[in-house]
Structure 1
Amino acid sequence: MDCDLICNFKKCRKRLNANAWVSIRKDIFCDDDGSREFNKSTTCPACQTSLSGTYDIIRVDLQQSEKYKTMVLAGQKPETVIDIASRALAFWTYQITQERTYQEFVTNKGKERNIQMEQYYEQILARTAAELTALKTQLAATKKELESVKKKYTEATEQILDKGRQYQKLQMLYDALRRKCITPLTFDMGDAPVHMPNRNPSNFDLTLSTRDSILRRENNVSVSTTVPRSPAEREFLLTPGPTPLPPTISDECPAAQSRFHLHIETPNRAMSRPH
């Protein structure tokens, strides 16, 4: 059992170890609160009971001297001493019981508050865990999508590079075919005299042919010319297509007109012409 009493004023609740004010309603107050409240009125600050009697309120010393303890009950009958002691013990028991009840009430309120706070934070924790799980799932999906996009980007890059290599290869093949099929001789022939290394009159035998046969023969001669072929040219496959018609010889194409101009003359005159 606690040996110290507590001030019953709600705003005070401090321990009593010196002077105190005691009421007949078994309430006790510290010296400061009792002096202030009872000087204003005779109403008990704890239970709001009127204390108008002579001995309804007294100021006591909680640390009595030995002489006072010897003389206060001296000359009283044993019954009186026991009665006074029993009433003093009843006051003490009431105060201790009230204090325990109050402390139990505060403890229960604290437990309830703790339970409520625990439930509240458990809900917050559960909600946070659910949000964290959702964020982890979303993060995993985002990472998966990112990997897919990276893979597609890599594939697209490879395709672009492959297309670029194919384009360069085709460009090289095109340039090679262009250099092989389109020679400077094709553009510089014009009206230049024809070189005749062999002056045998039999070389001047003229066979009359159509324009198509002459063009076909010249194309065959130009294609059959032996030219070293590169590996890229050997890999290139030219799909046969319809034979293009020769351009119309007109005044707008003097080079082509001069190319297909036939000089009909005797062998002696051709041989006598300066080269």
Structure 2
Amino acid sequence: MTFPDITPDLKAAMPELRGRLLANQSLAELTWFRVGGPAQVLFTPADEDDLAYFLKHLSKELPVYVIGVGSNLIVRDGGMPGVVIRLAPRAFGETGAADDIVTAGAAALDKRVAETAAAAGIGGMEFFFGIPGTIGGALRMNAGANGGETKDVLVEATGIGRDGTRHIFSNADMKFVYRNSGVDPSVIFTSARFRGKVTDAAAIRARMQDVQTHRETAQPIREKTGGSTFKNPPGNSAWKLIDAAGCRRLKVGGAQVSEMHCNFLINTGNATGHDIETLGETVRERVKQTSGIELHWEIKRIGIGKS
């Protein structure tokens, strides 16, 4: 599918824009599943000020979505109308540490934040080492793993509103819940500050190694996957419910439920976005039939289906 090219109009309306605008840019290679159609416009801002300028002058009629490394994302095959914003590591990926504080741009990998903290002898952020995403996604979804969550260490986050206004959110302002935050979905996070505890570096490294070992032995991290597909229901584990429903190794087209971990869907090589989403919905239906429990998607699904 090809969308009308609106980049000339955007450039004309924003003469001071410094970032890059691309029309009908494929999103498949920007996601871990490697599926999906194009973005009508893909915008990569030069920095936070450029992002604010862009949003301030962008028509409120155009939908906007922001992506990081696409590790927890299904892009539907018809693509994404409107504007997809991708924060590049060069402008939004810096990390730093001082005393017991770690700072990070929204495009910084969660793993890099854990490494930055470890190098500074700051404990409490080892769980980030096991999350295959960026800090922007961690803020939006209250990302967590191995007993830790973003809410446990966040001091404050900075974001740009849909009108181009800069906002600072305290931990309380984020209204964190399990795998989500209550901040207006239109806000695009740009950076964050975290607080840990000064800890023995060897102990931090040992904990990070435990996290890595767990991932390598229990999760299909070398496959084309989107990480944990469904949220764990209260008092239960999604993978156990999926396994009990007989869905291990279940396939739809080129998409398959991982044999290693039932809460992971994988692209075996030629899956479409429709295959993966259909497989997920089939799993949800079977779990509901066998257990009476309704699973909720953790993976984000965006765009329109291919007609």
Q: Normalising by structure 1, what TM-score? A: 0.19
TM-score (norm 2): 0.18
